[in-house]
Structure 1
């Protein structure tokens, strides 16, 4: 191929890469929601678990602690901060212990007597009104008079205030200066609920940035500092940590890979050319994800690029086998059957994950298959035509010649395979110090244990909902759920009194059923009666007779209006809060009852187990463990199918039993070695360890195939050894960096494959090679 033709091909290739890059940058959406790596829920508990993890009210809560200054100044910062947050559309509510009258909303003021339980036992009559008016006189003479006076004409019973207090958290912290404080009095506490769901990294990032600005403004002129905890804060931290580590690993890996290729091939042009198939495979994989899924999970991309990184082996095999007098295209043709067998077997193995039913694994399969196939094909048909000039012939290296003779002289005892397999199995069986499987979802998060403990401490101080237990009410419609929620109030109150829990939050606390609202309407006096009762109650009190006209109008509106339903309440300031705890599920509705400080879960289980109960106790920990177990079962089946497919492709390509065993045996033994090393190190296996096993098996297959296909020609043996040495060194570098990561997911992948690279190389060398000891001539 002429120089001009190669230049044209390079320009065309770069143009395609530019188009792919532009398409990916403008269309690919990246998610960090771990639910993408969860299997489809098969039970109601599992469905609720997945919804609660990402969308539930608990996932939206941010816990704030202000510290670093005097309690008086911290209280002032808290008081300045809350109004700013309540006026920010990114937040549903902000609570610090003061009464949020804005939560009621002007549109709902007339209906406060339908929403509040205050007059269920004591009717709104002359005696009640007189007591209230006398109390207002005392209030007007107190420091609270300034904010009570504007409410007096419309709400002399202060029902707005009492309703707002009823909507506050059921278990409140200590107070100082009318705001929440820790028990030691050193930190002011706030509870903030975001509009964005907990696993919406973009929404949570915007909310946290806005929160930081409001905090900085409120703390101006003080020495106050703060800490923010909660699922949203953890999501943003994880996202940042993942991005930072991925960039760091990518930079170090790129530098190491370039230096390795320069050392191996002594050509800058070779290094640059070798990157083309790798970049093409990565961009093609991302474009496929955009076309088929509309986006990708961050873990898919992080893991996928490590898999695509294996594609660097393809140009390395080509570079290492180049020689003087033979075109790169001819070398590629001779290598292609062996290379294609390895690529096809790995791709077919990953096809098994398309049937896993897990979005993240399906994405990973598409990304890997498209990326590896593209990298292999562009190496065979593109890169081989770009290479020209005088190639570096690895076989001419005296050091490599000496190493090749030593490798060929190594003993290959027949008992090596059963010995390695037997020892690995014995270690796996004997390693009983830790559970074999990791069922805890929290083990997949990189949040530091100290931060998790601090979050638990803040939750205890604030009385935030329990993150493990949840009561679920089921009904045909919203009204049925609200009625059942009201019926649940008394037994839960009894359990709270008995010490089984510290508090609870019912959906009917925000919106009573229409049945209850109609009953309250019937107890309200008509306009004439109320006017007479008000006149009687205000005798000898210094209030003008027409002062309470707005109050009379509101009561009459509440008495005659249609009860407030869930659809209408959803438009109120607390609408999002209600939608979080009262949800439609197609043909039925559910209500979520948040529980605070659960001390006796068995008492709650007995309550839910009563005959004809429409209430279920959801143990999120148990549900998550069952989900992980179901996930593992799917992955194990996928691994089994992948292994069969992988061996099947090898058998189809090699056909003879002896050759098949020489290729498959190192791969199978390496799988046992990896499992033995992990179990000996006290590691409980996660799904990411299992998925990484397929990658390690694919690497072992490649090494064994090339060792098995080696020719009797001494120089060709050196070139094959050189190629596998460079491949294994570059792969070892990539996965060693991952093994040192602080992210549990990446660390699991890195450790698994790093062990696999070393074991695969040694076992493939000893069990697959057919070299004759070369002469020294």
Structure 2
């Protein structure tokens, strides 16, 4: 007894020390941010995304509507300031814009202003109308700098086209569908987006929002942003981890006690699982700096797989006819089981989703740790292990059923194959690769996001990235691209940087237009009304470098960046159909549509096709393995059973869900790995009571664990759990059909 306890203590002390050292070296953080799971886009697009949009990745937004919106706005703004959360929307004032652009006024002409210059009478009406608008901030801020009002028109028109917001008494304002909203935009520091911090901050904000709703009647306040998704998903993941893990462990303890009727057997099974969890955690913290909570939810499946080793090991050790240790067949089967399951999870290591790579690493390392514990430590407890008569009696009854079905294996398999083929003809399977399958956020939060995208003018807009060798070439490309879109729809809207920074070529053309209008006398009214002489039409041209050194710099860099090797810009476009935009983009080199959800869904689709190929390869590898280990006849039979299991699993899941995703295929891959274990154990140890008992315990535990996952609120986890549960149920009843007398000695 002393030796056993010493070995157990030494084993877990080593694991804990390794985990502590790995944790200290890597200092990982935990995340519940769904967006951090997503794969990277095309390399150029991914780079541009990091350059322009990374700063808004942690943005939160609040909107206020109703009779008390101003009071609620001020109250909430003060609360944010007190909590060191600062607003981020800082657009230059009209006076700042006038100061920045006035030296280049005659090179910067808005399209509206240029149209009025084409006719003297038209321009006079326009000029007088602008002067007569009482309190016009654009005229009052620019008249002393430009009596022609070209600068006023340039600033006013560009603000209308580039910004959906106005500033009223210091409050950001947006009118939409007859409702006036006050808006607050803020960015959070990364340290506020950790799992616990995000939950804590989100709860504090929601508490303040509830207080405002009580204090100000008829107030409608809406919130959105990554913080709230992170907090919601974190709470859901924590709940599912504790619920699924707790229920699974209780169920497994009950199963083990029913079979072995000894407290030590429960401890040994628990120690096997604990070894797997610590071993998986060691590898994961060493290889990943950020660990997603969904990884831990998926990793609950390790409990259902790792405990299989304990079941097979303990039932074999309980055979009193063996003097010491495992039988040769069980040793071989345990090793083959580890190899096949590990190969199955190795397919996850190259996944485009970080989540899947983390799950793969966690489970592979965990299984190795559980296998080592089973092989090295469990045999020390052999003399204390016994099997309950009731469990052996149950396995003998199951054997009678399996042997009867085994005699009818040929008609059973032919009937099943024909039936499944008919089902596929009646209702073919379909696939859904929507990235939304990763999201477990509530409908309420998703509606908030939609509302705020509408307020931002981004709900129906499309984003386009452009790349060129120089800033001038980039601006000219953007102007030509927009010109083609104008021909498709003159009323389409965009927020391109060329509004504020026309190409040098266009600025020269503007100067020529202005000079021609002056020479024709079109601008004489400006001199008559103001009594001042019109300044020279020859003004300097505005360059990227000049604008980047002005108060406009933050806004310029948010939409255009010039680097030594390339220049990049982006713009949002609305009023043009997707097909029309795609057609124009395809005509232009270095122009890309940026649609993150669509691009990620396309990547998921590509990986799904890779998984389909992996399933075929898994079948081929299984056949080669079985042919080498047993015989070609046995291999063909076992691969046939695998095919029936996978096809039936896919069809049933498709019927329940309406479509399949890559997570169903991941489940199918795991089912194949587990199915090979069952087939190997059956072929090596035959339909013996203790072997059937171990496999029954294995199947029951796995179905229980994965059945728990099928209750998850996250579609991805639900699909994965449902697939594996259905697949294991099928393989449990079909795998005994594979038992044949081998032509080779083991």
Quick one: structure 1 residues 250 and 424, their matched pair in 2 at CA, closer, same or farther if it must change by over 3 Å? same
Tell me what 1:547 maps to: none
Contact 2:626 2:634 in 1 (8 A): no
Q: State the shift of 1:760 in Å.
A: 0.9
Contact 2:311 2:694 in 1 (8 A): yes
Quick one: structure 1 residues 505 and 83, their matched pair in 2 at CA, closer, same or farther if it must change by over 3 Å? farther
Contact 1:662 1:768 in 2 (8 A): no
Whole-angstrom CA distance in 2 between matches of 1:54 and 1:685 = 35
Whole-angstrom CA distance in 2 between matches of 1:104 and 1:379 = 74
Tell me what 1:4 maps to: 2
Within-5 A mapping of 1:426-505: 426-432=422-428, 436-448=430-442, 451-453=445-447, 455-460=449-454, 462-466=455-459, 469-486=462-479, 497-498=490-491, 501=492, 503-505=493-495
Quick one: structure 1 residues 49 and 91, their matched pair in 2 at CA, closer, same or farther if it must change by over 3 Å? farther
Tell me what 1:649 maps to: 625
Contact 1:436 1:685 in 2 (8 A): yes
User: Does residue 1:604 correspond to 2:581, yes or no?
Assistant: yes
Quick one: structure 1 residues 92 and 638, their matched pair in 2 at CA, closer, same or farther if it must change by over 3 Å? farther
Whole-angstrom CA distance in 2 between matches of 1:10 and 1:237 = 39
Helix, strand or coil: the match of 2:285?
Answer: helix
Q: State the shift of 1:722 in Å.
A: 1.9
Contact 2:244 2:708 in 1 (8 A): yes
Tell me what 2:326 maps to: 331
Q: State the shift of 1:73 in Å.
A: 1.2
Contact 1:582 1:589 in 2 (8 A): yes
Whole-angstrom CA distance in 1 between matches of 2:341 and 2:28 = 26
* Residue among 378, 387, 390 paired with 2:384: 390
* Residue among 678, 692, 697 paired with 1:703: 678
Helix, strand or coil: the match of 1:321?
Answer: helix
User: Does residue 1:727 correspond to 2:698, yes or no?
Assistant: yes
TM-score, normalisation: structure 2: 0.77
Within-5 A mapping of 1:178-189: 179-183=173-177, 185=179, 188-189=181-182
Q: State the shift of 1:508 in Å.
A: 3.4
* Residue among 578, 592, 609 paired with 2:570: 592
Q: State the shift of 1:28 in Å.
A: 3.0
Contact 1:31 1:295 in 2 (8 A): yes
* Residue among 232, 253, 257 paired with 1:258: 253
Whole-angstrom CA distance in 1 between matches of 2:211 and 2:258 = 56
Helix, strand or coil: the match of 1:474?
Answer: strand
Helix, strand or coil: the match of 2:712?
Answer: coil
Helix, strand or coil: the match of 1:226?
Answer: strand
Contact 2:104 2:542 in 1 (8 A): no
Q: State the shift of 1:214 in Å.
A: 7.7
Tell me what 1:527 maps to: none
Choose 488-497 or 420-429, whichever is displaced more.
488-497
Quick one: structure 1 residues 354 and 737, their matched pair in 2 at CA, closer, same or farther if it must change by over 3 Å? closer
Whole-angstrom CA distance in 2 between matches of 1:131 and 1:754 = 77
Quick one: structure 1 residues 120 and 469, their matched pair in 2 at CA, closer, same or farther if it must change by over 3 Å? closer
Helix, strand or coil: the match of 2:67?
Answer: helix
Q: State the shift of 1:702 in Å.
A: 1.9
Tell me what 1:637 maps to: 613
Whole-angstrom CA distance in 2 between matches of 1:605 and 1:659 = 54
* Residue among 604, 620, 626 paired with 1:628: 604
* Residue among 647, 654, 659 paired with 1:684: 659
User: Does residue 1:190 correspond to 2:183, yes or no?
Assistant: yes
Quick one: structure 1 residues 601 and 673, their matched pair in 2 at CA, closer, same or farther if it must change by over 3 Å? closer
Whole-angstrom CA distance in 1 between matches of 2:261 and 2:672 = 31
Runs of 5+ unmatched residues, structure 1:
95-99, 525-533, 541-554, 772-777
Contact 1:32 1:299 in 2 (8 A): yes
Give aligned pairs, total: 706
Contact 1:105 1:573 in 2 (8 A): no
Tell me what 1:228 maps to: 223
User: Does residue 1:410 correspond to 2:404, yes or no?
Assistant: yes
Within-5 A mapping of 1:529-678: 563=543, 565=545, 568=548, 575=554, 578-582=556-560, 587-596=565-574, 598=575, 600-605=577-582, 607-608=584-585, 615-618=591-594, 623-652=599-628, 654-661=629-636, 663-678=638-653
TM-score, normalisation: structure 1: 0.75
Quick one: structure 1 residues 494 and 216, their matched pair in 2 at CA, closer, same or farther if it must change by over 3 Å? farther
Contact 1:470 1:594 in 2 (8 A): yes
CA-to-aligned-CA distance 1:100-132 (integer Å, 9 cap, x gap): 5657898x8842436989963789xxx99x999
Runs of 5+ unmatched residues, structure 2:
115-123, 516-525
Helix, strand or coil: the match of 1:243?
Answer: helix
Choose 698-707 or 51-60, whichever is displaced more.
51-60
Tell me what 1:506 maps to: 496
CA-to-aligned-CA distance 1:707-744 (integer Å, 9 cap, x gap): 223368xxxx2222221222111111111111111111
Choose 450-459 or 736-745, whichever is displaced more.
450-459
* Residue among 691, 700, 707 paired with 1:736: 707
Whole-angstrom CA distance in 1 between matches of 2:255 and 2:713 = 25
Whole-angstrom CA distance in 2 between matches of 1:629 and 1:749 = 16
Whole-angstrom CA distance in 1 between matches of 2:53 and 2:672 = 38
Whole-angstrom CA distance in 1 between matches of 2:634 and 2:314 = 26
Q: State the shift of 1:746 in Å.
A: 0.5
* Residue among 417, 421, 424 paired with 2:420: 424
Q: State the shift of 1:53 in Å.
A: 13
Quick one: structure 1 residues 563 and 521, their matched pair in 2 at CA, closer, same or farther if it must change by over 3 Å? farther
Whole-angstrom CA distance in 2 between matches of 1:616 and 1:732 = 46
Q: State the shift of 1:183 in Å.
A: 3.2
Quick one: structure 1 residues 42 and 646, their matched pair in 2 at CA, closer, same or farther if it must change by over 3 Å? farther
Contact 1:668 1:697 in 2 (8 A): no
Contact 2:276 2:366 in 1 (8 A): yes
CA-to-aligned-CA distance 1:80-110 (integer Å, 9 cap, x gap): 556876999866734xxxxx5657898x884
Contact 1:323 1:391 in 2 (8 A): yes
Whole-angstrom CA distance in 2 between matches of 1:494 and 1:217 = 52
Whole-angstrom CA distance in 1 between matches of 2:552 and 2:335 = 62
Quick one: structure 1 residues 607 and 665, their matched pair in 2 at CA, closer, same or farther if it must change by over 3 Å? closer
Whole-angstrom CA distance in 2 between matches of 1:373 and 1:52 = 38
Contact 1:738 1:747 in 2 (8 A): yes
User: Does residue 1:279 correspond to 2:259, yes or no?
Assistant: no
Contact 2:707 2:722 in 1 (8 A): yes
Whole-angstrom CA distance in 1 between matches of 2:500 and 2:243 = 48
Choose 654-663 or 271-280, whichever is displaced more.
654-663
User: Does residue 1:309 correspond to 2:304, yes or no?
Assistant: yes
Q: State the shift of 1:451 in Å.
A: 4.7
Quick one: structure 1 residues 291 and 42, their matched pair in 2 at CA, closer, same or farther if it must change by over 3 Å? same
Contact 2:318 2:382 in 1 (8 A): no
Contact 1:511 1:566 in 2 (8 A): no
Whole-angstrom CA distance in 1 between matches of 2:591 and 2:390 = 78
Contact 1:39 1:630 in 2 (8 A): no
Whole-angstrom CA distance in 2 between matches of 1:84 and 1:160 = 37
Contact 1:671 1:756 in 2 (8 A): yes
Contact 1:581 1:593 in 2 (8 A): yes
Quick one: structure 1 residues 24 and 229, their matched pair in 2 at CA, closer, same or farther if it must change by over 3 Å? same
Choose 35-44 or 291-300, whichever is displaced more.
35-44
Q: State the shift of 1:536 in Å.
A: 11
Tell me what 2:719 maps to: 748
Tell me what 1:544 maps to: none
Whole-angstrom CA distance in 2 between matches of 1:445 and 1:288 = 26
Tell me what 1:531 maps to: none
